[in-house]
Amino acid sequence: MEPTSDTAISEPAKKALHETIERTVSSSSSIQQQDAVLSQRIPNSPDQPKEEETSPMLGSGEYANGYHFPPKYPIKEQIQWGLKAYWDFYNTGFGLFFTVYALNVIGWGFMIVLLLGGAAPQMCWVNGVYNCDNINSPRRIWIEIDSQVLTALFSATGFGMAPWRIRDLYLLLRYRINKDQKALRRLAGVHRAWIRLEGSDKLPPTLGPKNIEETTMPYDENSVPYPLETIPDAPPTGVRAPPSDLRKFDMITWLNIIYVIFQAALSGVMWFLSRYNRPPWTTGVLFALTFITSSTAGIIEVKQVLNVKAIEGVQLTKRDIQRLARDKELGIPHYNNFHDKDPEEEERKRAEKAARRKSGFFRKSEKTALESV
């Protein structure tokens, strides 16, 4: 009977022992899982290898959220998609208007270039005399007609956009003179594609126009645009662009205002003076000044927008996701940056270009010194 009693007593003990072992194993497993999670949240110590970092690293081209920039497509595919997208745009009312306007600018602009370049010498004959500068020659008459049409076309956009450009100047002056932060926040809301306020790079990466008003996370009011719903979309990369250099916005704003002034001067000269009493140099000079100011402002702004996109990323389309997955299976590499280019190769090209420029400068200096001797 004693063996039977020992067996009866040992069974519960064994069961309890097994449960203790299972709890111990489960506990150690959960501790390992917690350590793994904490290792992802807590910054790595200097002893740990850099490969284990999970914070977004622009230099390495890897992001904590797994974001990848869209791949670079072949030129043929880009043209096909571009034509399809333009056709959809053309079928809208504004698209039709823009197409007609652009064709007129291109057509009349190309025509005046040909006339000024002497591409039609037959238009220089007047009463049997060949004189391209004769004011009554067909060439000069058509140059006048062409100039009037181009002035009207450029005035439509120049004066049409003037109210918005004056608004930007008004808000900018309020900020520069009165230190009005709300005026600056309004400007950031209008130009949300590239203006980033001081401290905006410290905002939570998930904060965007859809949740800004409901969020309970604290943030600096002066680091977000006004109204709140004009805050930029949450960056796909999880990294926000640094604060913008407002001096560039100063330059863009003043160039746009100067463009409007030059356009008004050009219109006044063209419409209030005839071709007989108008100084011949005024048209060419004012046309050049309007082109330079408007183009410079546009180039600066586009460059700022692209710089922000290169940091914050762009939304992936379904086509982008499918192409990245397909190319990954095929072993086709894509660099995780805005232009899908090898950063080391680009850096090498820039270094070579700088070296050539530097060596060329020294060769020119040596040549000048030898000639002076």
The whole-number pLDDT of residue 351 equals: 87
Q: Are 124 and 137 in contact (CB under 8 A)?
A: yes
The whole-number pLDDT of residue 30 equals: 40
The 10s digit of each residue's pLDDT in 69-106 is 999 999 999 999 999 999 999 999 999 999 999 999 99
The 10s digit of each residue's pLDDT in 275-318 is 999 998 898 899 999 999 999 999 999 999 999 999 999 999 99
Which residue, 212, 192, 196, 195, is CA-closest to 204? 212
DSSP annotation string for 67-81: --PPPPPPHHHHHHH
Q: Are 224 and 200 in contact (CB under 8 A)?
A: yes
The whole-number pLDDT of residue 194 equals: 94
**Bond into 227 cis (ω within 30):** yes
Q: Are 67 and 237 in contact (CB under 8 A)?
A: yes
Stretch among 13-22, 31-40, 259-268 having the lowest mean pLDDT: 31-40
Q: Which residue has the higher pLDDT, 28 or 216?
A: 216
